Amino acid sequence: MLIEFKVQNYRSIRSEQTMSMVAGSYTEHLDSNTAESGVSELGRLLRSSVLYGANAAGKTNVLRALQFMQTVVVTSAANTPSRAYRYDPFKFDANNRGAPSSFEVAFLQNGTRYEYGFSLDEERIHSEWLIEYAHPRGRTIFERDYDPKSQTYEWKLGTFLKGQRTVWRDATRPNALFLSTAVQLNSEQLLPVFEWFQKRLVVIVGVTALNPSLTLQLLDQPDGKPTLLPFLQVADRDISDISISRESVPQGSVIFPGAAIIEQVQGEPMPRLVKVSLSHSVGSNAEPVALDLADESNGTQILFRTAGALLNVFANGEVLLFDEIETSLHPLLIRYLVQRFNSSVTNKNNAQLVFSTHNTFLLEQDVFRRDQIWFVEKATDGGSRLYPLSDFKPRNDEVLERWYMRGKYGALPTLTSVSA
């Protein structure tokens, strides 16, 4: 589970900003919207959080920062001296343009608490560290810092780090992470940390193609259809059945976008065309009518394409980051999805959802606890500022949507009046 995330000097984020998933002292929705962390020092963790703010305030960049961190962890071991990540600091201040960007995340993996972070610029990793809390007191597993004067790294490889430590150290290039390199060279001890980024973090940010492969994989399983149908029926209760068929795509065929799903199977030279049909039963005596997926509403198509990934998140206890969720899902579907996360019944594996939205329909205390709501706004220096609703100490009966739209919490667009 995600505990906390910090980022500094990345895109619109100038000074260090922190987002925490640690539940506060509020008592509302305690058993549903929070989960026991298993760590006495942490207490309970939030199952979901939402970000509000004006366009261009930096909501996307908060989520994109964790996505960037994930990308560097997963790919940096394969970097070459001429191929690395994209360094993207805050550009509206000369001091920031050449300074490293820094990222730090605290999370639980396999019952163990970790704090991992690094800083970088376009040439190299400047610092990297990992602290493990196998016991209440943390222990440093490794740490590296670049000294620009000597142009060398200072390393601290803790005695708790087992394996070929010096081999991993010597193999770590300046633009690669020690974590990624050690895992590539078979460090079993560091693998859980790497796998949290690789397998427990799902990010939908920006223009992301909604890949239906996980939905198709689900339907290939014996219990796939009974699992998927109730999920789709939230969007359209008349859907009564699903069928899929596959056929080879003849060479030279023209496939119109959106009309079909193309599936590339490993080991097969030609892709396959997947036809999805949803049966609708309208009325008690009516014969079911089958419609191709392309004939369904845009919302149903999107839900079908994302259903496999969403259900995987619940099944595996993953962390889902979803930017501007309302561009993909209807407000009622968003509310339903949030309620699934905020439930100990439908979210037994403690999956988490962090999303941004402009939809104030959700800004209600019967949906969220006061510590689950966050705002992002542009500060006077042009940098994004992230802060929780709890900073305003709202009453437990406060009408949040009304006061947000009236500007009490900030994070609203600045509009100029238009005269006739």
- 3-state class of 172 per DSSP? coil
78-84 contact pairs (CB < 8 A, 24+): 79/173, 79/175, 79/176, 81/173, 81/174, 81/175, 84/122, 84/175
- Paired with 385 in beta bridges are 377
| E strand spans, 40-164 | 44-46, 48-53, 101-109, 112-120, 125-133, 139-147, 152-157
Task: In whole angstroms, give the CA distance from residue 281 to residue 96.
Answer: 60
Q: Provide Rg for the chain, Cα atoms.
A: 24
Q: Which residues pair with 133 in a beta bridge?
A: 113
Task: Report the SS3 class of residue 263.
Answer: strand
Q: 3-class DSSP state for residue 301?
A: helix
- Output DSSP code: residue 326: G
Kindly provide the residue ranges of all beta strands, DSSP E only, lying in 38-95, ordered along the sequence. Answer: 44-46, 48-53
Q: Which of 327, 352, 350 is nearest to 338 (CA)?
A: 352
What residue spans of 103-248 are helical by DSSP H?
Answer: 165-171, 178-184, 191-199, 213-219, 224-233
Taking the CB of residue 299, how many other CB atoms lie within 10 A of it?
15
CA distances from 137 to 20, 58, 76, 125, 129 (A): 20, 35, 30, 27, 16
Q: Are 58 and 378 in contact (CB under 8 A)?
A: yes
pLDDT at 416: 56
Question: Quick count: other Cβ atoms within 10 Å of Cβ 277?
Answer: 15
The number of C-alpha atoms within 13 Å of 105 and in the hemisphere containing its C-beta is: 20
Residue found under tokens 């198709």: 216
378-399 burial: b if 16+ Cβ within 10 Å, else e: beeeebbbbbbbbebebeeeee
Tokens of 8: 């500094």
Per-residue pLDDT tens for 73-108?
999 888 666 666 889 999 999 999 999 999 999 999
The strand pairing partners of 243, in sequence order, are 277
Q: Are 38 and 115 in contact, with CB atoms under 8 Å apart?
A: no
- The structure tokens listed for 219 are 């339907």
In the numeric block, which tokens belong to residue 366? 């019967």
Distances (CA, A) of 95 to 14, 98, 117: 10, 6, 22
What pLDDT was estimated at residue 325? Answer: 86
- List the domains of the chain with CATH numbers: 2-200+317-405 (3.40.50.300), 223-307 (no CATH)
Q: What residues of the chain score a pLDDT lower than 50?
A: none
